[in-house]
Amino acid sequence: MKNDMKIAIIGTGGAGGYFGGKLAQAGFDVTFLARGKHLSAIKEKGLTVKSILGDFHVAQAKATDKISEIGKVDLIILGVKAWQIKELSAELIPLLHAKSLILPLQNGVLATEELTEKIDASHVLGGVCRIISKIESPGVINHFAAQPSIIFGKINEPVSAQMQDVKSVFDTVGIDSKISEDIASEIWKKFAFICVGGLLAITGQTLGELRTLEETREMMIKLLAEIHLLSTKTGISIGTDYVEKTVAFIDALPMDSTFSLARDIWENRPSEIDYQNGSVVRLGERYAVETPLNKFVYHSILPKELKARKEK
């Protein structure tokens, strides 16, 4: 891959819109997959990104609502919800050539596994991103907290020239990135952190409010501790001080910070709860690890989630 690589952003939400916008702004050939009013606004007015690091606008953004219209690309960045991976993975195959790479940025620990059910593993990276952002209005992405970054790598494989090419593109456009030789650990670290979003959803709190009230802060710490124990039982090492480090990170975030999981649930949209706290519950049962707080969160949200899916 060279710096003229063709890129597809599958899912132009808070993360896909920001990172794809940075790439398109720098002149890379980027096609955005979007839908509805968001798609119409991008086609008519381009993509606007409001960011704490500086606003920018992509005037001539290429966008479509059909994966089949994108054509062959060098890099696919997946910004869709975790539960959408299974249903669209087969549609990605026509976009691939021999050296194409797919970079999933989903919350949860199942994206790579689900992609490789239909797609040869040689194309599939593991990845996580760190950003707090959302679609503010059609055609407008708002990055309102956290330093954006991407960590990626191959599960149980060394760093390759292809991965270095991807990093070099991110470096060129000013996206903070890192190639990890233990991407499974990075995915689990993000997974545990993002599961705190389930607590936000059921308490109606922001991260600042959650960490300030003694009772909900204790719940947050116990929820993280359950996932930390589960990670050790699955053979993933995320560090003995993971809980303390994560709580310190949460303490440093702006008071009004929230997660997309909580916002989806508050706004009666289908969410990633099955892939977050729901995955903790199922893996806990598989590895004989008690996860009472995650179970409480998951079971409390499940009725509303099922209703949102039925009304989708």
Please give the pLDDT value at position 146: 85
Q: What angle do CA 77, 40, 87 make, to 5 degrees?
A: 40
Mean pLDDT calculated for residue range 268-285: 96
Residue 3 banded pLDDT, cuts 50, 70, 90: low
Q: Does 137 score more than 50 pLDDT? A: yes
Cα–Cα distance measured from residue 279 to residue 16, given in angstroms and rounded to the nearest whole number: 23
Please give the pLDDT value at position 1: 43
Identify whether the C-beta of residue 243 lies closer than 8 Å to the C-beta of residue 228: yes
pTM value > 0.75 = yes
Range(s) of the chain covered by CATH 3.40.50.720: 6-181
Please give the pLDDT value at position 269: 93
Mean pLDDT calculated for residue range 272-281: 96
Give the pLDDT confidence of 185-221 residue by residue, as tens digits. 999 999 999 999 999 999 999 999 999 999 999 999 9
Residue 289 phi, psi dihedral angles, 5° rounding: -115, 125
Please give the pLDDT value at position 312: 62
Range(s) of the chain covered by CATH 1.10.1040.10: 187-311
Cα–Cα distance measured from residue 160 to residue 125, given in angstroms and rounded to the nearest whole number: 11
Give the pLDDT confidence of 39-83 residue by residue, as tens digits. 999 999 999 999 999 999 999 999 999 999 999 999 999 999 998
Please give the pLDDT value at position 155: 85
Q: Which range, of 3-7, 31-35, 49-53, 177-181, averages the lowest pLDDT?
A: 3-7
From the options 3.40.50.300, 1.10.340.30, 3.40.50.720, 3.90.870.10, give the CATH code of 6-181.
3.40.50.720
From the options 3.10.105.10, 2.60.120.10, 1.10.1040.10, 3.40.50.300, give the CATH code of 187-311.
1.10.1040.10
**Percent of the chain whose pLDDT exceeds 90:** 92
**Percent of the chain whose pLDDT exceeds 70:** 99
